[in-house]
């Protein structure tokens, strides 16, 4: 195993570990401004990062400034359109109902998340908005990628509050 594989995980075993590490790094930016440390990255169909986002609610005073929404907006701007077909959202925390709505509306193909959110999760925990059969678009969901690291970041943040 190469040193790079040791640092980033085995891409054959879990292809989502490397992008989740990018999302974790992005989450660290949120904590610097007093925001809940959640980070997100949107990948193009080839797995290349298109955009990044981290929570900015405290920083901007915008209640919709969740990591997922910001990353989705930036990806759409980068691509020049709202349809993100073929793209993947990687996020450190299970999306809430607002973010789940943005995910389905933007036509993302898949959502990869780390920590479950038992209090507000809308991708399998409390609700399952993204896979609701009544909707015309239902992305694939992969949960639990680097879950211990994602959960620890949140636990450490809230422990200091």
pLDDT digits (tens, 9 = 90+) for 94-140: 999 999 999 999 999 999 999 999 999 999 999 999 998 888 889 99
Question: In the annotation, is 68 catalytic?
Answer: yes
Contact 94, 117 (CB under 8 A): yes
For 63, half-sphere exposure in the C-beta direction (CA atoms, 13 angstrom radius) is: 2
Q: Which residues are annotated as a binding site?
A: 66, 96, 99
Catalytic-role residue among 3, 26, 58, 68: 68
Residue with tokens 């678009």: 137
pLDDT digits (tens, 9 = 90+) for 46-83: 999 999 999 999 999 999 999 999 999 999 999 999 99
Q: Which residues are annotated as a binding site for Zn(2+)?
A: 66, 96, 99
The model carries a pTM of 0.90
Angstrom distance (rounded) from CA 97 to CA 95: 7
């Amino acid at each position: 195993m190469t040193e790079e594989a040791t640092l980033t995980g085995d891409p054959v075993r879990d292809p989502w570990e490397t992008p989740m590490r990018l999302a974790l790094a992005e989450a660290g930016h949120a904590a610097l401004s007093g925001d809940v440390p959640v980070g997100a990255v949107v990948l193009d169909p080839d797995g290349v990062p298109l955009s990044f986002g981290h929570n900015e609610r405290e920083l901007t005073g915008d209640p919709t400034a969740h990591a997922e929404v910001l990353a989705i907006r930036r990806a759409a701007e980068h691509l020049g359109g709202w349809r993100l077909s073929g793209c993947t959202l990687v996020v450190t925390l299970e999306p809430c109902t607002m973010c789940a709505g943005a995910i389905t509306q933007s036509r993302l193909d898949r959502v990869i998340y780390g920590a479950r959110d038992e209090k507000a999760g809308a991708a399998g925990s409390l609700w399952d908005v993204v896979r609701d059969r009544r909707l015309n678009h239902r992305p694939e969901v992969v949960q639990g990628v680097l879950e211990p690291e994602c959960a620890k970041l949140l636990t450490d943040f809230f422990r200091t509050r």
